[in-house]
C-alpha cells in the first residue's frame, strides 16, 4: 500500500465526522485522535475506520476516538488547524508542534503554559487588590486597621507566593517532583532568607559570597530551578540504588538546588537589573525623554523576567535620600499601557473565553497595577498586545521623563496611585504621558489584533481535500494485515507465536525452544513487567482498542506500586507530555508502548511525574514515571498499565506470559525479533 499522507488523512477524517462545526473539542494521546462530537448522527464511523492509516475507531468516555498510532501527532496538528481556536485542545498537555519555533516563541510558549493553570487565580486576586485599594482611596477602609491587614493579605498572597504556585506548574512542565520544587520555592521565601536580604549585610554559603535579592513574586528563578532539577533528578535515577532512592533524591535535590539558586540566579538577576538601572539613570541625566522612553518601554518586559525586583532597591534608596525616584516615574505609563491593550482585547476579541479573562485582567492592571494576569494570560500569548503596550509605554514614559514626573512615596504604579505623582515634576505631563500611553496601546491593539474565532462559530470555511475512493487493489481495511502507517499500526493476532502453545507456557525456555525449532534463530528478548501487580490477558483489558490487539500483542498489569519502570533497555522514542504513555525501542528493533491507565490522558498530567524525556537512553528497570494510582482511581480512572509490542507484525514471535501475580522486572512478554 502507498505511504499514508497524514495531513490529507486529517482532512478526510474531518469531512467524515461532519466538518469543523461538528467538532466540539479535539485532543490526542500517544496513539489516538480524541474528538468530542456535537452530533454523532453526522459521523460516518465506518468510513472513518476504512481510511488508509486509521487502525480502528472506538467510542468511549464520551469521545469518538480514531486510532492512528505513532503518527497521531502529525494528524492532530493538521486536523487542529482546521478547527476554531477553542475547539483545538490548546490547553492539552498532549499538543505538540511539528514546526521548529524561534527561541522567542519557545520562551513565550513555555511561560504561557506554566502560567495558564494559575492565571485565573491571579486575575481574581488582582481584581480583589484593586477593590481594596479603591476602598482605601475612597476612605471606606482604614489602611491602619486590622480589617485592611486581613483583606490585603488575602488579595496579595497569590502574588507574594507566586514562586510556590509556579513551582507546581513548572514541575509538571519539566517532569520533576513537584513537592521538591515547591520546597525549593518555599526556601526562597523563607522568613530568615528574606531577613538576610533586608539587612543588607554580607551573606556567605560555605565561604561562597551570596548576593541576596528578593524572590517575592519572582518568576524566572523557580522556572530555571525546575529546568535544572530535571537534569539532576534524571542523573540521580541512573546512579542511586533503588533501596535508598526515594528519600535521597529529595535530600540531594534540596541540598544542591537551594544554594545553587541563591548563589547563581540571585546574582544574575540582581546584576542584570542594576546594570539596566545604571544605564537608564545615565540616560535620564543625559536626555530625560530617552531614559523615560526606555523605562516606560522595558518595565513590563522586566516584569516578565522577574528583573523588575532588582530595580526596587534603587527606587527605595532614591526615595529615602532625595524623596523621589525619577527612574520609577515612567513605570506608571508602562503599566497603564498594558492594561489598555488588554482592555482592547476584551472589546475586540470574538472569543468569549478570552474576554472573560481580559476584562478583569484589564481592570486589575489599570486600577491596581497588577499586570501579571494581563501579561501572562492575554498579552503574552497573543504577542501583539504586549508589543503595542511596550510602544505605548515607551511614548508615555518619554513624556513623563520630559516632565521629570515621579512619585514621592513607594506605590504600585496604577490609576489609583496617581495622587502620589502630584508633587514631583510636572503632574500635567505625567497625566498626559499616561493618557498617551493608554491611547496608543489601546488603538494599536484594537485596530491590528487578530479578532480570533468565536467560541460558538466554526472556523472560516477552507476547502478540505475530497477523499479519494478506496484503493481497490489494496487489501480490505478490515484486514489487519492491510493497516499501515505508524509503527503501532499493527493488527490483533498478526503473528503466529501470539497464539502458540508457548503462550500457554508463558516461560522463557518454551519461547526459546520455539525460536530454535521454527525459525532457526536463538535471539530472545525478554520484555519485563514495568510494575508489580496482577497481570491479565490483553483481551481482558477494559479498552476495546488495546483488547482487540490493534496496537499489538501484550499484557495488562493492575499495579500495586506507584513507580512505573522501563520494560526493556533501549531508547525513549515518544513521551506523552501528560506522562501517561511512553514509546520505547530496543537495539534489537523491538518497539513497545507502556500505557498507564485507561483514558488517563484526560487527567492532563495530574498525578503523573515523568522521569524521562524523548531521546533518553534507558536500561530495563529505570524509572519512567511516578504515578499516584490511588488518586487516579479516586478520579474515576482504571489504573491498569498496558504493555504492547507495537511492531508485532514485523517480529518472529511475540509470546505474553500467563496471567497472575507478577513482580516488576519479571518477564512479561517474550519476543523473538
Q: Tell me if residue 404 is catalytic.
A: no
Cβ within 8 Å of residue 118, ≥6 positions away: 158, 165, 166, 169
Copy the grid coordinates of residue 399. Answer: 513624556
58: closest CA among 76, 80, 34?
34
Whole-number Å distance between alpha carbons of 354 and 575:
30
CA pair distance 112, 294, nearest whole angstrom: 25
Of 28, 308, 580, 595, catalytic: 595
For residue 71, which of 1, 9, 13 has the smallest C-alpha distance? 9
Closest CA to 644 of 520, 571, 543, 563: 543
Active-site position among 28, 29, 580, 607: 29
Distance from chain centroid for Cα 540: 34
Those residues whose C-beta lies under 8 Å from the C-beta of residue 498, and which sit 6 or more positions away, are 549, 553, 648, 653, 654, 655, 656
Q: What is residue 433's three-state secondary structure?
A: helix
Is 595 marked active-site? Answer: yes
End-to-end C-alpha distance for the chain, whole angstroms: 23
Q: Report the half-sphere exposure of 438 (CA within 13 A, side-chain side).
A: 18
Secondary structure tally for the chain: helices H, strands E: 24, 20
HSE (side-chain half, CA atoms, 13 Å) at 462: 13
516 CB-near residues (< 8 Å, 6+ apart) = 522
**Sheet with 667-672: strands ordered across:** 525-528, 667-672, 653-656
Q: Contact, 562 vs 597, CB < 8 A?
A: no
In whole angstroms, what is the distance from residue 204 CA to residue 197 CA? Answer: 12
Burial letters 474-510, b for 16+ CB under 10 A, else e: eeebeebebbbbbbbbbbbebbebbebebbebbeeeb
Q: Catalytic residues, which ones? A: 29, 595
Amino acid at each position: 500500500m502507498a505511504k499514508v499522507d497524514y495531513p490529507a488523512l486529517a482532512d478526510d477524517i474531518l469531512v467524515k465526522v461532519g466538518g469543523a462545526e461538528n467538532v466540539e473539542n479535539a485532543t490526542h494521546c500517544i496513539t489516538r485522535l480524541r474528538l468530542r462530537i456535537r452530533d454523532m448522527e453526522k459521523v460516518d464511523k465506518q468510513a472513518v475506520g476504512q481510511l488508509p492509516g486509521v487502525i480502528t475507531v472506538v467510542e468511549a468516555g464520551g469521545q469518538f476516538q480514531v486510532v492512528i498510532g505513532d503518527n497521531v501527532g502529525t494528524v492532530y496538528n493538521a486536523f487542529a488547524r482546521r478547527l476554531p481556536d477553542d475547539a483545538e485542545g490548546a490547553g492539552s498537555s498532549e499538543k505538540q508542534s511539528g514546526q521548529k519555533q524561534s527561541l522567542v516563541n519557545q520562551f513565550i510558549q513555555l511561560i504561557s503554559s506554566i502560567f495558564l493553570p494559575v492565571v485565573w487565580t491571579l486575575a481574581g486576586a488582582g481584581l480583589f487588590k484593586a477593590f481594596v485599594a479603591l476602598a482605601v482611596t475612597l476612605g471606606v477602609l482604614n489602611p491602619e486597621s486590622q480589617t485592611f491587614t486581613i483583606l490585603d493579605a488575602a488579595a496579595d498572597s497569590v502574588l507574594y507566593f507566586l514562586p510556590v504556585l509556579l513551582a507546581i506548574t513548572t514541575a509538571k512542565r519539566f517532569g520533576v517532583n513537584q513537592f521538591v520544587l515547591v520546597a525549593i520555592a518555599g526556601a526562597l521565601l523563607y522568613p530568615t532568607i528574606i531577613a538576610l536580604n533586608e539587612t543588607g549585610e554580607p551573606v556567605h554559603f560555605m565561604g561562597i559570597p551570596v548576593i541576596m535579592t528578593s524572590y517575592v513574586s519572582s518568576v524566572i528563578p523557580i522556572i530555571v530551578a525546575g529546568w535544572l532539577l530535571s537534569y539532576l533528578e534524571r542523573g540521580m535515577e541512573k546512579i542511586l540504588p533503588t533501596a535508598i532512592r526515594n528519600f535521597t533524591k529529595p535530600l540531594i535535590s534540596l541540598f544542591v538546588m537551594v544554594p545553587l539558586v541563591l548563589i547563581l540566579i540571585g546574582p544574575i538577576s540582581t546584576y542584570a537589573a542594576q546594570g539596566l538601572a545604571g544605564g537608564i539613570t545615565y540616560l535620564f541625566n543625559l536626555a530625560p525623554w530617552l531614559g523615560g522612553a526606555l523605562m516606560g518601554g522595558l518595565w513590563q518586559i522586566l516584569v516578565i523576567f522577574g528583573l523588575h525586583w532588582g530595580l526596587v532597591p534603587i527606587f527605595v534608596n532614591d526615595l529615602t535620600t532625595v524623596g523621589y525616584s525619577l527612574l520609577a516615574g515612567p513605570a506608571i505609563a508602562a503599566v497603564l499601557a498594558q492594561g489598555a491593550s488588554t482592555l482592547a482585547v476584551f472589546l475586540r476579541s470574538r472569543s468569549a473565553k478570552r474576554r472573560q479573562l481580559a476584562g478583569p485582567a484589564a481592570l486589575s492592571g489599570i486600577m491596581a497595577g497588577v499586570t501579571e494576569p494581563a501579561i501572562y494570560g492575554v498579552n503574552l500569548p497573543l504577542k501583539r498586545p504586549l508589543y503595542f503596550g511596550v510602544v505605548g509605554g515607551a511614548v508615555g514614559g518619554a513624556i513623563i521623563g520630559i516632565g521629570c514626573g515621579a512619585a514621592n512615596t513607594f506605590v504600585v504604579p496604577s490609576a489609583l496611585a496617581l495622587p502620589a505623582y502630584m508633587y514631583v515634576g510636572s503632574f500635567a505631563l505625567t497625566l498626559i504621558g499616561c493618557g498617551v500611553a493608554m491611547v496608543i496601546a489601546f488603538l494599536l491593539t484594537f485596530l491590528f489584533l487578530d479578532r480570533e474565532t468565536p467560541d460558538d462559530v466554526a472556523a472560516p470555511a477552507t476547502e478540505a481535500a475530497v477523499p479519494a475512493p478506496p484503493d481497490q487493489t489494496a487489501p480490505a481495511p478490515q484486514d489487519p494485515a492491510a493497516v499501515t502507517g505508524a509503527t503501532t499500526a499493527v493488527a490483533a493476532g498478526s503473528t503466529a507465536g501470539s497464539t502458540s502453545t508457548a503462550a500457554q507456557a508463558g516461560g522463557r525456555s518454551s519461547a526459546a525452544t520455539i525460536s530454535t525449532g521454527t525459525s532457526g534463530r536463538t535471539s530472545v528478548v525478554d520484555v519485563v513487567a514495568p510494575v508489580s501487580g496482577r497481570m491479565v490477558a490483553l483481551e481482558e483489558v477494559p479498552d476495546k482498542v488495546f483488547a482487540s490487539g490493534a496496537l499489538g500483542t501484550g499484557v495488562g498489569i493492575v499495579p500495586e506500586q506507584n513507580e512505573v519502570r522501563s520494560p526493556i533497555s533501549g531508547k525513549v522514542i515518544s513521551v506523552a507530555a501528560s506522562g501517561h504513555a511512553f514509546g520505547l525501542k530496543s537495539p534489537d528493533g523491538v518497539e513497545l508502548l507502556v500505557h498507564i491507565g485507561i483514558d488517563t490522558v484526560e487527567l492532563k498530567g495530574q498525578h503523573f511525574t515523568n522521569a524521562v524525556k524523548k531521546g533518553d537512553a534507558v536500561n530495563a528497570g529505570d524509572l519512567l514515571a511516578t504515578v499516584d494510582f490511588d488518586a487516579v482511581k479516586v478520579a474515576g480512572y482504571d489504573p491498569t498499565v498496558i504493555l504492547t509490542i507495537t511492531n508485532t507484525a514485523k517480529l518472529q514471535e511475540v509470546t505474553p506470559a500467563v496471567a497472575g501475580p507478577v513482580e516488576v522486572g519479571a518477564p512479561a512478554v517474550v519476543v523473538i525479533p
